[in-house]
Structure 1
Amino acid sequence: MTSSETQDPIQQAAADWFVRLQGDAALEDWTAFQAWLEADPAHAAAYDAIEALWVELDDAPANDDLPCQEAPARAVADNVSPFQRRAERPSRRWVWAAGATAAAAAALVLAVLPQLTRPTFTDYSTRRGEIREIALADGSRLTLGSATVVRVHLGRAQRDVTLVDGEARFDVAHLPTRPFVVSVVDRKVRVLGTEFNILSHADRLTVTVRRGVVAVSGGDDPPVRLTKGQQLIHVQNTTSSQVRVADPNSVLAWTSGKLVYRDTPLPEVVAELNRYVATPIRVDPSAASVKVSGVLLIDKESAMIRRLELFAPIVSQTSGSEIVLRAKATRP
């Protein structure tokens, strides 16, 4: 009699389900899996044994001999919420089953290991001037602004994103048992489910909340809680952060191809424009105190400069390999 003939069919089914759900499972797959779990408590015990062993492998040091590949983002329909595994543990009377089948479950995990993908960070990026939307497998959506780089890992206990540089809007799926944590410069932004924007460039961090609550922490500072309409500004390696009221719709206008300014210092405007244009823009000291109000369309470099000159008393001049903005001379 072969090993496959003596294999517990419930354990084999649990392993098959585990492999199936690691891939691009559809809503129908999750529904069928739920029905299988509820059909017999032994199903849940067997699946938990397989999952627990895989988590141990996940937590173990990386081994170059194990398969590793990037899992690309997949499309998630607006009206579909991925199935969430139940949080409760198997009842005490079934604990013996998990223990009794541990060796067999371990053998199954090793058998299906080549079919599974070890968790890894997946990198996403945009070119200068590009805006990109990404749908993650957990139901969250990211919108990447110009010249942005993020790294994503959707772990079983926590969803981790590193914003390396640039700007991103996060619309996070609400999963209470899997917090969503964004690491950026020397801060961490922790949420369960919300919509917010992060801009990180040079040593300056700006977090703006459109919906829900986020907690920003770092160093020895206590976490700062932000709610709808609040914005945190933090300069790297400083001990304090500034919290102020902000209009989330204006901050997020870039996702629809617009940059909105209300009495914004020209140097701040130029710092943002430099993320979109190819030719560096510099503010002459004569225009350092100029404020800008208006809506700039994200367009060709020359068109954006011309519109900026209409909104503020400045003139542009090409000087070598850069564009210099100077205060417009006043008539006597």
Structure 2
Amino acid sequence: MAQKESPLILIIRHFNAPDDAVLAADIQHWRAQQPDHERYYQEVHQLWMAAADAGALAQVDVHASVARLAAKIGLDEGELFTVERLRPRNHLLQWAVGLAAAVVVSVLVYRQYRPAAIHSITRVTHAFKDSVLLSDGSMVYLDTNTAVTYPEQFAAGNRTISFASGNAFFKIAPDDARPFTIDMGHTAVRVLGTSFNIRKAPEQIHVDVKSGRIMFLANDQPKAILNAGAAASYNLQNDSITTFLHQQQNSDAWLTGELRFSDAPLSEVFRTLETYYHVTIDLDTNLSTLGKLNANFNNNKLEEVITLLEQTYPIRIVQKGDRLIIKSKHAL
């Protein structure tokens, strides 16, 4: 990019003349040089788009604007300009034009550098699932009964949202210069670019990493670094964390609708069913001798899963509302 003009001026020229191929190529080359350039370009672009009420500077009616200003200080419009050119005809008018230009520049500088007001949005799901597209391109998928707060636009150098409760799957847009933080009160998850699931209950937080790598923090202290395929459970009561080499297969089942069991003990199967179908399961039989389950379910109703389990194992399942009782078929 030519150094005779500042990047800001050249970017604005580019916005005013998007068909200028040479200027567009210079801007593209400058943006690619370093992340700070790209961030600066995006900030100017957002300011440009937000200032739709101002329009392009090339379209400003200078004659009318200065005439209105001069009228306010007691000059007749006929004294302002010659017919041929918009040129001041006396020193007072030169002062007026200079004042107008100074006001315009001051307003533009103020609009560019004033601290942006950060508007926060709180999304709470109840009976329905939802999703949120964040301003950096990251996606957050919300399960039922989940609450999250996020800024309408992330501040420069910071990507932080608050996760109050529930179950959510995060797909974070990569940005090496701005780590992404999910604040959960005394705990947090920090990432660069990855996908993972967080389930936050009153006494426990469970994290499963699908791709990339995350850092789990408690009281601003790192507790664990989890790579793709790993998981961790943090106990909020005693400040303890347990990590797993392999993530739970079904941590994102609420999002995909798929339940996958591979050599899964029945005790694990029923724990998964409790979470997925939002039921309570009481075990009234010894399941340790009943073998393991290998099965896949895709958006099946609970009754369909119950039928398969009763056909596969010597158990009978009694359903009472949102409570299931598991008994042995041989029990009286």
User: Which TM-score tier does this pair reach, normalised by the shorter chain?
Assistant: 0.5 to 0.7
Aligned to 1:330: 330
CA distance in 2, matches of 1:103, 1:188: 46
Aligned to 2:317: 315
- Identity across matched positions, percent: 20
CA distance in 2, matches of 1:203, 1:117: 37
Aligned to 1:295: 296
Q: After the TM superposition, which residues 257-276 of structure 1 pair with which residues of structure 2 at under 5 Å, given as runs?
A: 257-261=257-261, 262-263=264-265, 264-265=267-268, 268-273=271-276, 276=277
Aligned to 1:139: 137
- Tell whether the 8 Å contact from 1:162 to 1:184 is kept in structure 2 after alignment: yes
Aligned residue identity for 1:156 = A
- Tell whether the 8 Å contact from 1:15 to 1:108 is kept in structure 2 after alignment: no
The root-mean-square deviation of aligned C-alpha atoms, in Å, is 4.8
Aligned residue identity for 1:268 = R
Asked if residue 237 in structure 1 is aligned to residue 237 in structure 2, the reply is: yes
CA distance in 1, matches of 2:167, 2:23: 38
Aligned residue identity for 2:118 = P
Q: After the TM superposition, which residues 52-63 of structure 1 pair with which residues of structure 2 at under 5 Å, given as runs?
A: none
Aligned residue identity for 1:120 = H
CA distance in 1, matches of 2:23, 2:148: 32
Deviations, residues 201-233 of structure 1 (Å, cap 9, x unaligned): 332211111211110010275431111111101
Asked if residue 187 in structure 1 is aligned to residue 187 in structure 2, the reply is: yes
Aligned residue identity for 2:232 = L
State the 1:306 CA deviation. 4.3
- Tell whether the 8 Å contact from 1:305 to 1:316 is kept in structure 2 after alignment: no
State the 1:190 CA deviation. 0.3
Asked if residue 157 in structure 1 is aligned to residue 157 in structure 2, the reply is: yes
Aligned to 1:170: 170
CA distance in 2, matches of 1:150, 1:141: 12
Aligned to 1:122: 121
Deviations, residues 31-77 of structure 1 (Å, cap 9, x unaligned): 9998686899xxx99x97xx79xxxxxxxxxxxxxxxxxxxxxxxxx
Q: After the TM superposition, which residues 6-17 of structure 1 pair with which residues of structure 2 at under 5 Å, given as runs?
A: none
Aligned residue for 1:173, secondary structure, equals coil
Number of residue pairs the alignment of both structures matches:
257
- Tell whether the 8 Å contact from 2:223 to 2:241 is kept in structure 1 after alignment: no
Long gaps (5+) in structure 1: 1-8, 21-27, 53-101
Long gaps (5+) in structure 2: 1-5, 31-35, 45-101
CA distance in 1, matches of 2:112, 2:330: 76
CA distance in 1, matches of 2:156, 2:226: 26
Aligned to 1:211: 211
CA distance in 2, matches of 1:109, 1:195: 39
Q: Are residues 189 and 38 of structure 1, via their aligned partners in 2, closer, same or farther at CA, if it must alter by over 3 Å? A: same
State the 1:170 CA deviation. 1.5
CA distance in 1, matches of 2:13, 2:166: 41
State the 1:124 CA deviation. 3.1
Structure with greater Cα Rg? 2
Q: Are residues 220 and 175 of structure 1, via their aligned partners in 2, closer, same or farther at CA, if it must alter by over 3 Å? A: closer
Aligned residue identity for 2:119 = T
CA distance in 2, matches of 1:226, 1:105: 50
CA distance in 1, matches of 2:300, 2:111: 54
